[in-house]
Each structure stands twice: as C-alpha cells, then as structure tokens.
C-alpha cells in the first residue's frame, strides 16, 4: 500500500515514510491509494479481543510492517496495564437503539490514547525502516487532551524526546495537573502565556525556522509532530469503528450487513474521518453525524457547502472541539471529489488567502450522501448531562453530551431509527467543574472535585486521575510565545 498527498497525485510513499514525514512537502496530507475491503472478514473478527481486531485492520494499511510487528504493538498498546476496561473500547448500552462507544478507558482518560498509545511505536519503527539516525523530538501544542496523551505515549520511549506547550489560559485544572506531574526522562512541559492559538502559532514558527532545524540536525535531532494529521495517528482510529460493529453483532443487536450510524463530537475532523474510512472499507454505515459545539464551522459547511473561518471564536465547556480550521477535512474533500488533488489545492489556497471556499454542488451532495450534522449550544450541553444522569443513570462528559444532543435532534428531524453509536471521547472526570455545574452542584476547585463528582453521580474516579492527588509537580515554567524556541534549544542541548 502506498500513500499520496491530497494536493499532488504523482509522488507515492510507503507508510513508514508517510509517518516519519507527517505532512507532505506540498502542504497536503498523506492518504492511502486504496481502501482495503473488510466486509467478508467481519464475522471472523467478532470473537477476537480488541488488540487483534486493531492489528488486523492496521496491517491492511501498513504492509511495509510485518504482521508480527503490528501484533506486538497492539498487544503493548491495548492491554489492562494501560486501560481500566478489559475490552479496551467498550460499548455502553443506553437503550436498544443507542450505544456509547467509550474511548476513554486508557491512561489519560481521553480518546486520544487510542491513537497515541500506538503512534510512538509506529513512529520509532518507521524511523528504523527509513534508516533515520537522528533522535526525534516531538513538539506538541495542546488545548489539553493531546498533550497528556502524547506525553504518556512517548514517555521513556528510546530514541525520542517530547516537549509539550500548553496555554496558561484554557486547560482544565485536572488537565494541567496531568501534564505538570508527568514522569519520564525524555519529557518536558512548558506553559505559554496566552491561549491555544498563541501556543499553536509558536510551535508552527519553530517548525518553519530553517536555521533552527539545521542547528538541531547538526546536534543530532529532528523535529516531528504528534498532531492528528499524521497517518500514524489516524490509522489506529479506524479500528474502533469496526470493533464497535463487531460488538453489536456479537451481542445480537444487529445482523451482519445491517447499517448503523455513528455520531461523533468533532473538532479537527480526525475521529469522524476514521469512521468515513471504515465506511470506504465496506463497514455498513448509514449516516455519520458530525456534532459541533457553537464553533459550528463544520456543521455550516456540511449544510451549505461553504467553509468560512471568518467568524467569532468561542471558548466553550467542550474545549477540545473549539476549532476554526479542521485540518483533516482536507482528506474528506480529496475522497469525495474523486481524488481530485487540483481542486483540493485550490480550496486550500483559498482557505489560506481568504479564509473561505465553496465546494461544487456535486462534491457537496457526495458529502451529504453520508454525513449529517448538527450544533449544540452550551445550555443544551449542560441540560443533556443532567438529563442523561437523571433518566439513564449515565454520566457523560461535555464533549460526549454535545454528540448525544445532536443525535436526539437528528432523530427528531429525520425520523431515522437506525441503531446509532455515539462516540464518547472523554471521561467526565476530566471536566469535573463543567460537569458539576451541569448537575447544579455548587463546588470549589482543585483535585477535591473528583471525589465530589463521584459522590454526586455514583460513578467512580478513574485511577489515573485519583492518583494525581499528592503527586509533585515537575514542570512550572511559563514563558512568552517568543521564548518558546529558546526552551526547545535548552531542552535538547542542555
Ligand atoms: C480531540 C477531542 C475531540 C475532537 O476530535 P477530532 O478528532 O479533533 O475531531 C473531541 N472530544 C475530545 C474529548 C477530544 O479530546
């Protein structure tokens, strides 16, 4: 299997090269040439544990890796040392037609673990395969969940260093504690004065600094990114959609060939794109419902065919979905346009210069064939959390609540009764203060909120979060954006 860029059709790379490089030289994203078909294999996957389902799915795309290699990585990534549920990605049944796919049973309690427990293994193996001798330094700007998941994934992985920048304003207290108490010899965490955009623009400036790259290269390092445009982060995510289908078959809720819908709380469009790829592989999917918070640029796009980032940015209680440019949408445009690299380049250059583009009528209707979308306000998010706990005794986080409300609205407006899986992306305990607000519980702040939420809801605090109590903070630096580069140099050379 070879990979090509969404903006140029001629050059083809192996998976290992695509993973090492991350982004194509022409600014495009790497996409697989074809989509392997899995329908005839689904029954065989049903009795298998998650790690074997995932190994099967990933090996179809990573054929420059041996099956033994992939098997070893999934066995190391998805086991009961890191995950507090033996099934790794369990389905929680709400009613006969509605299940929640809980992707937050991993070491950092957010779905980013599903990919970031695999990426370091895929990346280090790819470095060996491409005979890269320098040490990789992974730079991450995070709005909260990615940073911790990347730290946990790369912690003490030989041949790697990781440096995470998080905004001093904007991450939850629990998220900050998770990062500043991170263990490991090869890790560094620094707060950046400002918001996520400030941290992100600082990291982008470092990546595009040629002189710095040369100096680091001379010192034996090269920079890489762990964000969701990397193929090594996307490919592990396809597996859990297929796994969820297997579980519904196994429990008798559906028959082989029955279609199901997925409803996904969406930010950078990585998670829902993996579902789209699963559909391209022959998984019977009816609709993919793209759920947004009030930063609903994607919902508007799916409805109107116009992508317009020139709009107000809102800071919400579902911060991992606060985003105006969803990078992975480019991969959908590429497939839905019949792999038209020229039209994708054109849209992306318009996005760069005007912050806006409009797709053709045929592209718009191809997207509407499989995607539906909806927006959920802050108040509805809160009300949904409280309602689900009252009616179903099920506690969900703010991101998952956005998706559940959008699903309810979708069902009401379409009458669609297809069994639907809501993708649950974070433990509610990661966002204690907002969840307690939703439950109308007066609260203070800090680590004590974990216990309070447990008492109010009857749910138990995940171990990785309760263990934060009393842990010493290792990283307390907070720097201005223009000092970030110096911090990287100090970390690598110091
Ligand atoms: C990252 C994240 C999302 C958004 O996922 P994308 O792949 O960026 O669309 C949603 N919910 C939570 C909790 C996240 O951490």
pLDDT at 225: 85
Instruction: Give the model's pLDDT for residue 184.
Output: 96
Torsion angle, CA of 304/310/314/315, rounded to 10 degrees?
120
Compute how many other C-beta atoms are within 10 angstroms of the C-beta atom of residue 26: 13
Catalytic positions, written as ranges: 112
Q: pTM of this prediction?
A: 0.96
Asked if 291 and 264 touch (Cβ cutoff 8 Å), the reply is yes
Q: Which atom of ligand 1 is nearest to the CA of 144?
A: 15
| Confidence (pLDDT) at 228 | 84
The Å distance, Cα 370 to ligand 1 centre, comes to 20
CA angle 316, 441, 109 (to 5 degrees): 55
CA 106 to CA 465: how far, in whole Å? 11
30-32 β-sheet, strand order:
8-13, 3-5, 30-32
What is the C-alpha separation between 43 and 385, in angstroms, rounded? 35
145 Cα nearest atom in ligand 1: 15
Dist. CA 266 → ligand 1 center (Å): 6
Whole-number Å distance, alpha carbon 489 to ligand 1 midpoint, is 30
* Residues of the chain predicted below pLDDT 50: none
Tokens encoding 226: 């762990």
Buried b (16+ CB within 10 A) or exposed e, 112-123: bbbbbbbbbbbb
| pLDDT score for 172 | 85
CB 301 within 8 A of CB 357: no
**Atom from ligand 1 closest to the CA of residue 430:** 13
- In contact, 147 and 179? CB cutoff 8 Å: yes
Q: How far is the CA of 220 from the centre of ligand 1 (A)?
A: 33
Contact 320, 267 (CB under 8 A): yes
pLDDT value of residue 458: 96
Give Cα separations from 277 to 270, 272, 287, 335, 406 (angstroms): 11, 9, 13, 10, 22
In this predicted model, what pLDDT tens digit does every residue of 216-243 receive, in sequence order? 999 999 898 888 889 999 999 999 999 9
Contacts of 205 (CB under 8 A, 6+ apart): 484, 485
Among 141, 268, 331, the mutation site with the greatest number of ligand 1 atoms within 8 A of its Cβ is: 268
Q: Which of 277, 320, 323, 406 to mutate to test the pocket of ligand 1 (most atoms within 8 A of CB)?
A: 320
Q: What is the pLDDT of residue 334?
A: 98
- Give the pocket of ligand 1 (CB within 6 Å): 110, 112, 145, 228, 265-271, 320-321, 399, 425-426
* Ligand 1 mean position, distance from CA 112 (Å): 7
CA 110 to chain centre: 9
340: how many CB neighbours lie within 10 A of its CB?
A: 18
Pick the atom of ligand 1 nearest to 269's CA: 9
The pLDDT of residue 464 is 95
């Amino acid at each position: 299997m070879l990979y090509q860029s969404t903006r140029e059709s001629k050059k083809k790379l192996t998976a290992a090269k695509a993973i090492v490089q991350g982004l194509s030289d022409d600014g495009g994203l790497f996409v697989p040439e074809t989509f392997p078909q899995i329908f005839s294999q689904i029954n065989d996957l049903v009795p298998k544990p998650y790690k074997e389902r995932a190994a099967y799915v990933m090996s179809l795309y990573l054929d420059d890796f041996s099956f033994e290699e992939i098997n070893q990585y999934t066995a190391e990534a998805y086991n009961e040392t890191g995950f507090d549920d033996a099934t790794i990605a369990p389905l929680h049944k709400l009613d006969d037609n509605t299940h929640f796919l809980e992707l937050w049973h991993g070491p950092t309690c957010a779905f980013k673990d599903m990919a970031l427990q695999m990426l370091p293994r895929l990346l280090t193996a790819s470095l060996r395969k491409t005979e890269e001798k320098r040490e990789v330094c992974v730079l991450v700007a995070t709005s909260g969940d990615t940073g911790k998941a990347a730290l946990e994934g790369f912690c003490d992985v030989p041949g790697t260093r990781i440096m995470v920048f998080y905004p001093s304003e904007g991450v939850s207290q629990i998220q900050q504690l998770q990062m500043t108490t991170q263990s490991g010899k090869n890790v560094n965490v620094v707060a950046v004065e400002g918001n996520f955009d400030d941290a992100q623009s600082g990291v982008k400036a470092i990546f595009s600094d040629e002189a710095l790259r040369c100096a680091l290269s001379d010192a034996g390092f090269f920079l890489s990114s762990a964000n969701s445009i990397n193929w090594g982060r996307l490919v592990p995510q396809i597996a859990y959609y297929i796994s969820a289908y297997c579980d519904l078959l196994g429990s008798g809720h559906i028959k082989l060939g029955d279609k199901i819908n997925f409803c996904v709380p969406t930010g950078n469009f990585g998670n829902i794109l993996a579902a789209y790829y699963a559909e391209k592989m022959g998984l019977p999917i009816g609709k993919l419902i793209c759920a947004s918070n009030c930063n609903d640029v994607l919902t508007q796009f799916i409805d109107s065919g116009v992508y317009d980032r020139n709009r107000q940015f809102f800071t919400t209680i579902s911060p991992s979905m606060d985003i105006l440019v969803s990078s992975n949408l480019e991969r959908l445009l590429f497939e839905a346009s019949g792999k038209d690299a020229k039209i994708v380049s054109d849209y992306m250059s318009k996005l760069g210069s005007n912050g806006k583009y409009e797709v053709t009528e045929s592209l718009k209707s191809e997207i509407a064939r499989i995607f539906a979308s909806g927006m959920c306000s802050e108040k509805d998010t809160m009300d949904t959390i409280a309602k689900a706990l009252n009616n179903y005794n099920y506690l969900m986080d703010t991101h998952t609540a956005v998706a559940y409300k959008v699903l309810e609205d979708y069902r009401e407006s379409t009458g669609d009764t297809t069994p639907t899986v809501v993708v649950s992306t974070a433990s509610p305990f990661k966002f204690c203060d907002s969840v307690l607000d939703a439950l109308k519980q007066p609260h203070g702040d800090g680590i004590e909120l974990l216990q309070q939420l447990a008492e109010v809801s009857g749910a138990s605090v995940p171990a990785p979060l309760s263990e934060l109590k009393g842990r010493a903070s290792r990283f307390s630096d907070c720097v201005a954006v223009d000092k970030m580069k110096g911090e990287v140099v100090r970390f690598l050379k110091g």
